[in-house]
Amino acid sequence: MNASWKNLRADFPILDQRINGQPLVYLDNAATTQKPRCVIDALVRYYERDNANVHRGIHTLSIRATAAYEAARERSAKFLNAGSPAEIVFTAGTTDSINLVAHAWGDENLKKGDVILLTEMEHHSNMVPWQLLARRTGAKLRYLPIVPGDTGLLDLDQLSSVLTPEVKIFAFTHVSNTLGVINPAADLCAAAKKVGALTVIDAAQSAGHLPLDTRAIGCDFLAVSGHKMCGPTGVGVLYGRAPLLDNMPPYRGGGSMISSVEYFESKWAPAPAKFEAGTPNIADVIGLATAMDYLDGLGREAIARHDEKLAAHAYARMATEVPGIRMLGPAQHRSGVISFALPGAHAHDVVTLADRDGIALRGGHHCNQPLMRKLGLPSTARASFYLYNTEAEIERLIASLQKIQKFFAE
Amino acid sequence: MNASWKNLRADFPILDQRINGQPLVYLDNAATTQKPRCVIDALVRYYERDNANVHRGIHTLSIRATAAYEAARERSAKFLNAGSPAEIVFTAGTTDSINLVAHAWGDENLKKGDVILLTEMEHHSNMVPWQLLARRTGAKLRYLPIVPGDTGLLDLDQLSSVLTPEVKIFAFTHVSNTLGVINPAADLCAAAKKVGALTVIDAAQSAGHLPLDTRAIGCDFLAVSGHKMCGPTGVGVLYGRAPLLDNMPPYRGGGSMISSVEYFESKWAPAPAKFEAGTPNIADVIGLATAMDYLDGLGREAIARHDEKLAAHAYARMATEVPGIRMLGPAQHRSGVISFALPGAHAHDVVTLADRDGIALRGGHHCNQPLMRKLGLPSTARASFYLYNTEAEIERLIASLQKIQKFFAE
Amino acid sequence: MHDLTDLYQTVILDHNRRPRNYRVLPTANRVGSGNNPLCGDEVTIYVELDGDRIKDVTFQGSGCAISQASASLMTLNLKGRTIPEAEAIAGDVLKLITSGDVKDDEFSDLSALAGVHQFPARIKCATLSWHAALNAVHGEPAPATTEKTSD
Amino acid sequence: MHDLTDLYQTVILDHNRRPRNYRVLPTANRVGSGNNPLCGDEVTIYVELDGDRIKDVTFQGSGCAISQASASLMTLNLKGRTIPEAEAIAGDVLKLITSGDVKDDEFSDLSALAGVHQFPARIKCATLSWHAALNAVHGEPAPATTEKTSD
Ligand SMILES: Cc1ncc(COP(=O)(O)O)c(C=O)c1O
Ligand SMILES: Cc1ncc(COP(=O)(O)O)c(C=O)c1O
């Protein structure tokens, strides 16, 4: 892997195209990121040379596929600084990872009177699985609020009043996909530990964007999507501390997750196999490991600095050069995600008009309906930056937003 | 798509390699099939040109990705002759599809005293999810036996005594992954309908191998793995009749499966979106649709004839030219899967030795532990044929098996 | 082709800026609502039905220019119509939005919606209020949604 | 390199064909079992422990040539040893199987297992009976498994 910041855009074949006659400016990275050539090549290489089912095979291709699949598990453990590869479960993505915890841990351990604590800025994927779990078990949901206003920061002054001993599990996002807020994950985990609550971190927007050390953070579970960190679609990771995974019942039943099967009962394999029923997404797991290599080649510290610098720059420029714009999230110390609202121009119209200028934005509720209601906005437009974005692209965004504003003001 | 039987092997890049000095003979198709170049190219094209998150996007890439993703749903509906694309749910594979039905349909509809009917030849993936469901609901499992002996055919004489009105759901495999038996799916569904039982067909070994018409078969649910039919790993299909899907609660919660979310409760989107929480496996869904085009280009009737002819030929040759071999499954009217046991040579040794000759076989219990116990075998070796296999490869298999037998007899 | 002014015609921009009949209708005896769960658009339609005739129709809601303008145009075009007439007009407009084919010039202002079909991601914005209006007129209690709802 | 005779050495083929001590041990006071869930190998080890010493050891089970031969060799090499001696031998053999390094010629017949390391898919076949034997000697009730078990 010889990723380098110089000529980095050339690593991403998709960026080299025109949209509506203009060079593509891809600013929808919070939805999904683009893939470097090395990740695409890893998929091709796998299918052209090594493709076979894993684990149960003794022939050469199967040995190769199994070795690559398990090497990806070790790579992921290193990427997240897990205690061992056995703490890495491959899933279909963040949503799947969170549902796994809610089912396998939650159904067994929650009961009426228990509380599931979330925050007001959670993505639907870190809210609906807990609503469903609450319905199944009789546990209650509770929310840590955000402070009034548009910074969207968590109201940490209220933490001690909501994080009470009835809280059995505290699930929160590391980075907000709408506000760009970076939450103090280690502090929240330490506070949860004090009341005996487990922690689940939604790292969809932080894995691949910031350094991410599960042991330093001290979380119990952490969920990741490959497609949001230069990896393929359809693959993700659940990190879980070994003693927890070891004691959880399985989620899905099927091949490979068993130790022995009889017609009327079965015994489970140990974690992580216990949670990986059926043929796994072998090629994409291997592609994800390649993405991890790529990101670490650039350095996650450097990526975080790059994103934050672009976002702070864009935030400042937009706030001053687009009159009347409403900016969400903090002005600094943030991730690369910026949501905003233009007076008189609905987010969908903003996105359609920006697309005419070759700029890919997202508009809507960003799977944050309750948060949007709280902010009093039906929707926002969102620009989200990643490693291949540039200051020149921010200039094109500003120019486009100014044009759009004029279009609707006329 | 201009797939053609002539030069078909050239469509599969992986086949053009040597294993231990010998040209690869890939006979592990029941575990996973190889991928034609067009499927690999579809993935590359997607990541190089169109990659974006689907559904919620308004910009050009997202429109392209959404259109391709939904076109794949229409393609899948056509492939399975579903009533409408809304009857197609994309999943991670057969195992995931079956777990979805067991959870979303089963938890809601089964109670103590109800019976789940399976057959003795089910794969762990069509057995363990039902064992888990039985545990959750108090329903009981029951099995339709196979006839004594090695053909492995279902004992249809016993059907009426096990398929009683307490049976609420009858889940069975269309084609056995160990025996090569093709079950009379339409007859079984008709019989189930008479007692009011729903049917779930495990089509892992039939989709992409035989013509498959859900409406002609008359099943309620049908589960498919992409990777076993020339498609990518990590993607599958659940077909479900619309009125059933419409009335089922969701399985996983998260983005895209909702109609509205509030902090304490949510409403679900209609099927199929209700069952596709989170970012789907977009690239692989598109790759799967390409695989369907490829298979239909060759013709599934023709593929079934090809597989059956090879299997019958191999069965006959093995039975006569490898003295003492124990052949499982029927001699004819079968799929391309052949399991066998060599006296004095354990299946693992057979597979390791065949691999030295460049031949990829599988050895073990094939995720059929209870069936193997019933047959009195700890394991078998398995050769499974698919569209790219040839009679010349069968000659190499026979020669290798004869050599192996000698090796252990010496 | 695909020119932005195809989508944002003057008529649309005008109706977006000054939506007609944007208010609650106190005399309404039918209400229909609609939402697009994927992007959050919401609309409520108020109808005063006098026998077979739509005596008055108004709307409220939030959404993009296309959805606001389409709802505004809808109120102007359905007011005073009988139910069968309204159904026929709605049918023609829905066809127009998805195909872009303007049948003849019987649609005056409504033909401004013809450009929408070139923007597949925006079609649902334009059709939502029409579905919600039909629901109101038919006394359908479930909200119209671009995706149908269940819970 | 990777030659088949590395894996299937004459010693191995011989022990597979005529496994030594393949029987239930009526005088056993310790039993250990092991299985490989991925491929279905199963082994049971019977040990007669006399104080600190393995007075006798036998096995039964099903599995490939490697696993049968390895179990057979295990019984020959552990019989008569003290527990610490058995632990040391087992430790060396497990290292030998995974690394292929023959320390010196203190291993006579056991060095036949050195070729296994070149066949990663077969390493578990060779190690299973040794783990099960250690379990028996240590009075560990859970079966040894190549994957550890839970339920
Ligand atoms: C008959 C049968 N059912 C189910 C499965 C499970 O499929 P998957 O592992 O793709 O989920 C397989 C394959 O392993 C199979 O052969
Ligand atoms: C904060 C956050 N959590 C969870 C998710 C869900 O991730 P996925 O759709 O990959 O499962 C997303 C992305 O959509 C997200 O931004």
Ramachandran bin of A362, using left for φ above 0, alpha for ψ from -120 to 50, beta for the remaining angles: beta
Q: What pLDDT score does D7 carry? A: 84
Nearest C-alpha neighbor of B387 from the set B237, B231, B235, B230: B230
- In a domain? residue D150: no
Kindly give the residue spans of alpha helices, DSSP state H, lying in chain D: 4-7, 10-17, 65-78, 83-99, 123-138
- In a domain? residue C8: yes
**In Å, what is the CA distance from D58 to each residue of A109, A169, B240, D11?**
44, 50, 54, 18
pLDDT-derived band at B323 (thresholds 50, 70, 90) equals: very high
Q: What pLDDT score does D35 carry? A: 85
* Segment B99-127 mean pLDDT: 98
Annotated catalytic, B230? no
Determine the straight-line distance between the first and last CA of chain B, rounded to whole angstroms: 52
* Segment A249-273 mean pLDDT: 93
* Segment B110-137 mean pLDDT: 98
**In Å, what is the CA distance from A123 to each residue of A117, A171, B261?**
14, 11, 10
What does the block give as tokens for D3?
A: 């030659």
- 3-state class of B296 per DSSP? helix
Could you list the beta-strand ranges (E) of A331-407.
Answer: 337-341, 359-360, 362-364, 380-384
* Ligand at shortest distance from the CA of B278: 2
Give tens-digit pLDDT for B382-402.
999 999 999 999 999 999 999
**In Å, what is the CA distance from B273 to each residue of A238, B100, C141?**
23, 13, 22
* Segment C92-121 mean pLDDT: 83
Nearest C-alpha neighbor of D61 from the set D46, D44, D38, D73: D44
Q: What pLDDT score does A2 carry? A: 56
Question: How many whole angstroms from B336 Cα to the centroid of ligand 1?
Answer: 15
Kindly state if the Cβ of B93 falls inside 6 Å of ligand 1. yes
**In Å, what is the CA distance from C21 to each residue of B307, B377, C45, C60?**
67, 78, 10, 8
- In a domain? residue D48: yes
Q: List Cβ neighbours of B174 (8 Å cut-off, separation of 6 or more).
A: B182, B183, B185, B201, B202, B203, B205, B206, B210, B212
Q: Which among D120, D122, D150 is the nearest to A270, CB-wise?
A: D150
* Segment A397-406 mean pLDDT: 96
> Do residues D38 and A53 make contact, with C-beta atoms less than 8 angstroms apart?
no
CB atoms within 10 A of CB A86: 18
Question: How many whole angstroms from A74 Cα to the centroid of ligand 1?
Answer: 26
- In a domain? residue C146: no
* Ligand at shortest distance from the CA of B254: 2
pLDDT-derived band at D150 (thresholds 50, 70, 90) equals: very low
* Segment C27-46 mean pLDDT: 88
Nearest C-alpha neighbor of B348 from the set D60, A58, D38: A58
Q: At what angle do helices B347-356 and D65-78 cross, to 10 degrees?
A: 120
Q: Whose CA is nearest to atom 15 of ligand 2?
A: A204
CB atoms within 10 A of CB A380: 26
User: Ligand 2 pocket: which of A367, A369, A371, A382 to mutate (most atoms <8 Å of CB)?
Assistant: A367
Does residue A81 belong to the interface with chain B, where contact is any CB pair within 8 Å? Answer: no
Give tens-digit pLDDT for D86-110.
999 999 999 999 988 876 655 678 8
Q: List Cβ neighbours of A395 (8 Å cut-off, separation of 6 or more).
A: none
Does residue C5 belong to the interface with chain A, where contact is any CB pair within 8 Å? Answer: no
Q: What pLDDT score does D1 carry? A: 39
Domains of chain B: 8-30+299-409 (3.90.1150.10), 41-297 (3.40.640.10)
- Burial category of D18 from C-beta neighbours within 10 Å (exposed 0-12, middle 13-18, buried 19 and up): exposed
Which one of B346, B371, B380 makes the best mutation probe of the D interface by having the most chain D beta carbons within 10 Å?
A: B346
Task: Tell me the β-bridge partners of A268.
Answer: A258, D150
Q: What pLDDT score does A344 carry? A: 87
More confident residue, D4 or A347: A347
> Do residues A366 and A382 make contact, with C-beta atoms less than 8 angstroms apart?
yes
Here the CATH number for the domain that contains residue C16 is: 3.90.1010.10
Q: How many CB pairs under 8 A join B and C?
A: 44
Q: How many CB pairs under 8 A join A and D?
A: 43
* Segment B24-34 mean pLDDT: 98
CB atoms within 10 A of CB B70: 14
What does the block give as tokens for C121?
A: 């991601």
How far apart, in whole angstroms, are the C-alpha atoms of residue A204 and residue A184?
A: 15
Q: What pLDDT score does C106 carry? A: 59
D121, pLDDT greater than 90: no
Share of chain A above pLDDT 90, in %: 94
Boundaries of domain holding C33:
4-139
Which one of C39, C66, C119 makes the best mutation probe of the A interface by having the most chain A beta carbons within 10 Å?
A: C39
- In a domain? residue C144: no
DSSP C81-132: -BHHHHHHHHHHHHHHHHH----STT-SGGGGGGGGGG-GGGHHHHHHHHHH
What does the block give as tokens for C87?
A: 């159904």
- Compare all CA atoms of chain A with the CA of C118 and give the residue at the minimum distance: A352
Run of H or E residues at C53: strand C53-62
What does the block give as tokens for A393?
A: 């692209």
- In a domain? residue C149: no
Does residue A157 belong to the interface with chain B, where contact is any CB pair within 8 Å? Answer: no
Instruction: Determine the residue type at B195.
Output: V
Q: What pLDDT score does D149 carry? A: 39
* Segment C46-64 mean pLDDT: 95
What does the block give as tokens for B84?
A: 């409408």
Phi, psi of A268 (to 5 degrees): -95, 150
pLDDT-derived band at A18 (thresholds 50, 70, 90) equals: very high
A1, pLDDT greater than 60: no
CB atoms within 10 A of CB B161: 8
Nearest C-alpha neighbor of A393 from the set A354, A363, A366: A354
C150, pLDDT greater than 50: no
Do A352 and C121 make contact, defined as CB atoms within 8 angstroms? yes
- In a domain? residue D146: no
* Ligand at shortest distance from the CA of A233: 2
Does residue D151 belong to the interface with chain A, where contact is any CB pair within 8 Å? Answer: yes
Q: Is the dihedral of CA A204, A207, A211, A213 positive or negative?
A: positive
The minimum-distance atom of ligand 2 relative to the CA of B279 is: 9
A379, pLDDT greater than 60: yes
Q: List Cβ neighbours of C40 (8 Å cut-off, separation of 6 or more).
A: A364, A365, A369, A372, A378, A379, C62
Q: Which among D7, D13, D40 is the nearest to B352, CB-wise?
A: D7
Nearest C-alpha neighbor of A399 from the set A22, A6, A8: A22
Q: Whose CA is nearest to atom 16 of ligand 1?
A: B177
* Residue of B38, B189, B230, B367 with catalytic role: B367
A281, pLDDT greater than 50: yes
- 3-state class of A128 per DSSP? helix
Run of H or E residues at A273: none
- In a domain? residue C68: yes
Share of chain B above pLDDT 90, in %: 94
- Compare all CA atoms of chain A with the CA of B286 and give the residue at the minimum distance: A233
**In Å, what is the CA distance from B261 to each residue of A174, A371, B126, B204, B247?**
21, 10, 34, 35, 19
ipTM above 0.90, yes or no: yes
pLDDT-derived band at A68 (thresholds 50, 70, 90) equals: very high
- Compare all CA atoms of chain A with the CA of D38 and give the residue at the minimum distance: A56
> Do residues A255 and A279 make contact, with C-beta atoms less than 8 angstroms apart?
yes
How far apart, in whole angstroms, are the C-alpha atoms of residue A12 and residue D98?
A: 41
Instruction: Determine the residue type at C148.
Output: K
How far apart, in whole angstroms, are the C-alpha atoms of residue A368 and residue A329?
A: 14
User: Ligand 1 pocket: which of B118, B367, B368, B386 to mutate (most atoms <8 Å of CB)?
Assistant: B367
| Total structural domains within chain C | 1
How far apart, in whole angstroms, are the C-alpha atoms of residue C60 and residue C45?
A: 7
DSSP A182: B
Interface of C with A in 6-35 (CB under 8 A): 7-8, 13, 16-17
- 3-state class of A11 per DSSP? helix
- Compare all CA atoms of chain B with the CA of A365 and give the residue at the minimum distance: B56
Q: What pLDDT score does C10 carry? A: 87
B408, pLDDT greater than 60: yes
* Segment A152-167 mean pLDDT: 98
Q: What pLDDT score does B403 carry? A: 95
Give tens-digit pLDDT for D2-54.
567 778 888 999 999 999 999 999 999 999 998 887 777 889 999 999 999 99
DSSP A68-101: HHHHHHHHHHHHTT-S-GGGEEEESSHHHHHHHI
How far apart, in whole angstroms, are the C-alpha atoms of residue C70 and residue C74?
A: 6
pLDDT-derived band at C81 (thresholds 50, 70, 90) equals: very high
Q: Cβ contacts (< 8 Å) between A57 and chain D: which residues?
A: 121
How far apart, in whole angstroms, are the C-alpha atoms of residue A176 and residue A159?
A: 18
DSSP C135-146: HHHHT--SPEET
Q: Which among B40, B261, B367 is the nearest to A47, CB-wise?
A: B40
> Do residues D95 and D110 make contact, with C-beta atoms less than 8 angstroms apart?
no
> Which range, of A116-125, C101-110, C118-127, averages the lowest pLDDT?
C101-110
* Segment C107-126 mean pLDDT: 87
> Nearest 5°: CA angle at B337, between B336 and B340?
135
Interface of B with C in 212-271 (CB under 8 A): 246, 256, 258-260, 266-271
